[in-house]
Amino acid sequence: MSPKTLPYVDDGHDRHLLDIYAPNGAKNLPVVFWIHGGGWQTGDKSSVQEKPRYFMEKGFVFVSTNYRLLPEVEMGMLIRDVAKALAWTHRHIAEHGGDPSRIIVGGHSAGAQLAAILCTDERYLKEEGLDFSGLKGCVPVDGDTYDIPAIIETAETRRRVHHEPQAKFGHREKFGNDPAKHVDFSAVTHVAKDKGIPPFLILHVADHPDVSAQARRFGAVLKEAGIPVTVHGQKETNHTRINAEIGTEGDPVTPVLSEFLAKCLKP
């Protein structure tokens, strides 16, 4: 099941690459565009576990992208890399059997934040000549940075009251060490009615307080704006497994995802 690896920027960086997994004879199939995690500092497009097999069996084309990482680039450039990859996918996926008018954006951990910001803050796609119209759904998995000021305050307060040293390169620094940037890189900031924001399925580990609080917060903001949203907390799993087990037999999250996709893609 080897993917087709292609550049999404001409003469770009060696991380300006994405992988396309398409079933044999694919034509006009819906597309899952996937963004890996790794704290915005590590990770690779190849870290997709069973997802390509699962989605191809379900009649999807699956795309997994790389992007430049911190600290080589700052967060705004990193987000723009993923926007470029998504725009390339929109323009070229028909050549690989995909339907550019039916794209689902998903990602895990840091990739969850990136998926959420691309599907709520239209400026990044507008820079690439796109809007939300081809996006049929967004599936952020176990992110803790949909409201960045909230997670900074939570984490720093926890360390302070327990007399622990603060992180040298925590969320405060990763997102630009500037309160205005922290607000601007938060998906909750950009949610509004009538922008064409797609439906969301927010998956998170139920037993983790930070991702649970962030998922509920983001879900409430989307709901208030009239955007269809499902917030699903999964018990008896962890940050790695909730992502790695998608598409595997007996995984409790997969049917929830499958139902969401069916709803999003209803003609």
Whether 222 is in a domain gets the answer: yes
Mean pLDDT over 123-129 rounds to 98
Question: Which domain does 118 fall in, by range?
Answer: 4-148+187-264
- State pLDDT tens for residues 26-64: 999 999 999 999 999 999 999 999 999 999 999 999 999
Q: Is the pLDDT of residue 136 over 90?
A: yes
Q: Based on the structure, what is the number of domains in the chain?
A: 1
Both tokens assigned to 198:
């797609």
Q: Which two structure tokens, joined as six digits, stand for 162?
A: 């327990």
59 within domain boundaries: yes
Contact (CB, 8 A) for 151 and 212: no
- The confidence score (pLDDT) of residue 95 equals 98
pLDDT grade for 265, boundaries at 50, 70 and 90 = very high
Q: Which residues, other chains included, contact 155 with Cβ-Cβ below 8 Å and sequence gap of 6+? A: 167, 170, 171, 210
Residue 240 lies in a domain: yes
Sign of CA dihedral 186, 191, 195, 197: positive
Supply the pTM of this predicted model.
0.98
pLDDT tens string 148-160 = 999 999 999 999 9
The reply to whether 153 falls in a domain is no
In angstroms, what CA-CA distances link 193 with 103, 169, 198?
A: 21, 35, 11
The pLDDT tens digits of the residues spanning 103-113 come to: 999 999 999 99
- pLDDT per residue over 211-240, tens digit each? 999 999 999 999 999 999 999 999 999 999
What pLDDT is attached to residue 267?
84
For the chain, percent of residues with pLDDT exceeding 70: 100
175 is a domain residue? no
- CATH code at position 42: 3.40.50.1820
Is 202:215 a contact under the CB 8 Å cutoff?
Answer: yes
> 161 in a domain, yes or no?
no
Evaluate whether residue 65 is within a structural domain. yes
The residues facing 205 across adjacent strands are: 234
Q: Is residue 165 part of a domain?
A: no
Structure confidence at residue 1 as a pLDDT band (50, 70, 90): confident
Q: Mean pLDDT for the chain?
A: 98
Confidence tier at 202 by pLDDT (50, 70, 90): very high
| DSSP H/E element including 53 | helix 51-57
